[in-house]
Amino acid sequence: MSSLNGKHALVTGGGTGIGAAVALALCDQGAKVTITGRRPEPLADIAGRAEGIAVAPGDVTDPASVASMTETARAEHGPIDILIANAGGAEAAPFQHTSQDLWDSLIAVNLTGAFLCAKAVVPDMLERGWGRLVFVSSTAGLEGQAYVAAYCAAKHGVVGLARALSCEYAKSGITANALCPGFAETDLLHRSIDNIVSKTGRSEEQARASLQATNPHGKFIQPEEVADAAVWLCGDGAAPVNGQAIALAGRDV
C-alpha cells in the first residue's frame, strides 16, 4: 500500500502542465486530490480523468479566494496533508522595460500565492503532526537569468520560503522543499516559444532548439518527470529530505 493512500493533497495550478501531471500521479498513488486554478474548464477536464480528484476554483493571489478554495477542499476530502504550490506565471522583458505592474503581477502569482496557500494549510498539518509542502520553483530560482528579473526574483523567493519553513517546522512532522525544473513542456513554454518567434523572427523549430540547448540532454523536461519527483517528496521515504531545492534540469545548477 502506498504511503500516500488516503492523504489529501491540494494542487494549485492543477488544470494544466506540471500541476495536472502531479495531481494525476498523486491520485494514482491513492491520495485524495483537490486541484485549483482560475479557469474551471481545464480543472474539470483533469478531474474527469481520475476518480478522487475534486475541483476548487480559485485565485492564489487573493487571500479571500485562497480561504474559500481551501474550505471547499476540506469539505470534499477533509484536512489537507499535502500542498503542491505550483501555480505560477512568467513573462520576459529587459529590466529597463520591466514595469512595476509586471513586477507586482509575477511576484503575486509566483511568490505571494505560495505564501498564502502555505499559510492556509499549515494549521491542518500541525494538528495532524504530518505534512508535505512542495513548492514548484524553477532553475530561475537557483541562478540568474537575463530578461526575466521579476520571474527570477519571485522564484528565488519561493526557494527561500521553502527553506525558511523547513527550519520553522522541522520538529512538527512537516517537510518543505522546492522543485526547480528547467524548461518543461508546458503551456508556459509554448507561450515563451511564441514570444521568441514574434520578437526575433526565428522559426518555431529554431526557438525550440535555442531553449532545448539550455538542457544538456537536449530535450525539455516532461511534466511527468516533475510529478515523479513531487510524489517521492510526499512519500514516507523522503521524510529526511527537508529544505532542499532540487534541480530537475539534467545539469548542476
User: Which has more confidence, 212 or 68?
Assistant: 68
- CB proximity list for 207: less than 8 A, separation 6 or greater: 193, 196, 197, 200
Residues 134 and 199 in one domain: no
For 85-144, the pLDDT digits (tens) are 999 999 989 999 999 999 999 999 999 999 999 999 999 999 999 999 999 999 999 999
Q: Are both 114 and 21 inside the same structural domain?
A: yes
Is the pLDDT reported for residue 240 higher than 80?
yes
Task: Tell whether 80 and 190 lie within a shared domain.
Answer: no
Range of the domain at 193: 185-220
Question: Does 242 lie in the same domain as 208?
Answer: no
CB atoms within 10 A of CB 161: 20
The one-letter amino acid code at 136 reads V
Q: Which pLDDT belongs to residue 253?
A: 81
Question: Are 64 and 139 part of one and the same domain?
Answer: yes
CATH number, domain of 176, equals 3.40.50.720
User: Per-residue confidence at 182, pLDDT binned at 50, 70, 90?
Assistant: confident
- Whether residues 209 and 113 share a domain: the answer is no
By annotation, the residues acting in catalysis are: 151
In a domain, 3, yes or no: no
Query: Do 122 and 162 fall into the same domain?
Result: yes
Residue 187 has pLDDT above 80, yes or no: no
Structural domain includes residue 1: no
Report yes or no on 76 lying in a domain: yes
Model-level pTM? 0.91
Number of domains in the chain: 2
Reported as a pLDDT band with limits 50, 70 and 90, residue 210 is low
Query: 125 and 230 share a domain?
Result: yes
Q: Are 108 and 172 within one domain?
A: yes
Instruction: Please report whether residue 252 resides in a domain.
Output: no
For strand 82-85 and strand 131-136, is the pairing parallel, antiparallel, or unpaired?
A: parallel
Q: Are residues 125 and 201 in the same domain?
A: no
Q: Are residues 48 and 130 in the same domain?
A: yes
Query: 101 and 74: one domain?
Result: yes
Classify residue 253: in a domain, yes or no: no
Instruction: Please count the other Cβ atoms lying within 10 Å of the Cβ belonging to residue 7.
Output: 25
